Amino acid sequence: MSKNKFYLTAAIPYVNAKPHLGHALEFVQGDVLARWHRLRGIKTFYVSGADENSLKVVRAAEEGGVSVQEFADKNTKEFVDFLKLYHVSLDKFQRSSSPEHKDVAQDFWRACEKSGAIYKKKYKGLYCVSCEVFYQKEELDEKGQCLYHPGKMIEEVEEENYFFKLSEYQDKLIDLIESDAYKIRPLSRKNEARAFIKHGLDDFSISRSVERAKGWGVSVPNDPGHIMYVWFDALNVYRSAAPHYWPADLHIIGKDILRFHAVYWPAMLLAAGESLPKELFVHGFITSNGKKMSKSLGNVVDPVALVEKYGVDAVRYYLLREIPSDDDGDFSEESFIKRYNGDLANGLGNFASRVLTLAEAEEDLAVLSEGALDPDILRSVNVCIENLDKKIEERRFHEAIAEALQLTSVGDGYLNNKTPWKMESGEEKSLVLSNCLFVLDKLTHAIAPFLPETRAKLDDALKAVDGVWVVKKLKSSLFPRL
């Protein structure tokens, strides 16, 4: 792919339930990267979608007393609305129930079959419907339950299925991962994937009987008695959504689906003769007050209610700043309010309001050339921006957004040192305020990938026209103190 193109994907969520806070984290991380690349003039394509062809979707529809299609349509719309609420700038939302996707998935099957990577056999295994995966006994907890879904029943399934010859790709996968031809970040997840492969790979089932799948999903070519296994089907959403952009430059996923993206997916692509994605970034989970979110504990955080209460940029900021980009993080109302008041209300919002109020009272504040700017201000601003870009390239979003907000401290320190509110109108005051406006303008651009709504408000309040700053006071506080 051309260096002037960037294709990234967020994982394709199951639509058996409503979006949760972990979805928001992943979608927003991807959105930051998409916006950051677009701001650099790079042709960017950001994809996610709906994984509608899983057994868990079928069962949820049955429990709700509606058809699978009706259930999928309703829940898929909730995800589309959720993405809009969080200002996620997707270029394509691909449904796995769409005809175009089914065609791509079936062509992919045929390519794997032609290469000799698919065969049929009878199988008996332990199946977690919530994960949509077969497990070995040693992969379950002491109660024989899934580590990711304790309390959920593991089903023993016996049937004749199609299998993928994963065992034949062990050495190739090790080479790909160790050489970083397929780069996995962070290092801990790379090591986890490598250890999983070196432990020995078993061939895995890639179909379900049409009876067990309840006839829902993508049919296996030339065998109407079988439906494709959901992961064999769903991973191809990344290709069916944007075939002209493939291969992906980056997949963003949660740690619970590492094996599918780090092991199964590249092996399947190799078998089909397709190009491989370049990078896999893996984030962690979000707990609530130190505990896994659970309806029984009553600690599930509603991501929609959170935005309705505090505003979208406040929630985006918290997720990006407080949750480590590549590890587990915790949400609590207390930490949210502390971060909001400290960084946004007293920090960014207060600095912007002070500068714009002071500047609006003056006339003809010049847009200063680099040579006319305070050298310490220029140096500090450039360091923050360089660090921000570096951290985004490293996928360290929590550190990147901290660098953006560091510009607030740079501006506040300069403003408090110069005290322009004590000065009479004149050249010295104008110079100080022009330096402050320079910092605010750079801050506005720095937060653009992270806080798009706030960026738009500041863009409206501050514009450079014919070498002069055109300033308007904010209509309301960016972040009213809680």
Catalytic site positions: 20, 23, 128, 131, 146, 149, 292, 295
- Which CA distances in Å does 283 have to 9, 22, 25, 179, 180? 14, 9, 9, 22, 18
CA 1 to mean position of chain CA atoms: 21
Q: How many residues does the chain have?
A: 482
Burial of 168 (0-12, 13-18, 19+ CB in 10 A): middle
The strand pairing partners of 254, in sequence order, are 283
Kindly state the helix (H) or strand (E) to which residue 445 belongs, with its residue range: helix 427-446
Which pair of structure tokens corresponds to residue 363?
Answer: 């006339």
- Which CA distances in Å does 381 have to 292, 386, 408, 451? 40, 9, 10, 19
* Spatial separation of the C-alpha atoms in residues 67 and 60, rounded to whole Å: 10
Please, what's the b/e burial string for 194-213 (b: 16 or more CB within 10 A of its CB; e: otherwise)?
beebeeebebbbbbbebebb
* Spatial separation of the C-alpha atoms in residues 22 and 284, rounded to whole Å: 9
CB 235 within 8 A of CB 260: yes
- Phi and psi (nearest 5°) for 159? -165, 170
- Which CA distances in Å does 2 have to 44, 245, 247, 327, 394? 11, 10, 11, 31, 20
| Four-residue CA torsion sign, 302, 307, 312, 313 | negative
> CB-based contacts of 477: which residues, under 8 Å, 6+ apart?
345, 349, 353
CB 83 within 8 A of CB 38: no
CB 261 within 8 A of CB 280: yes
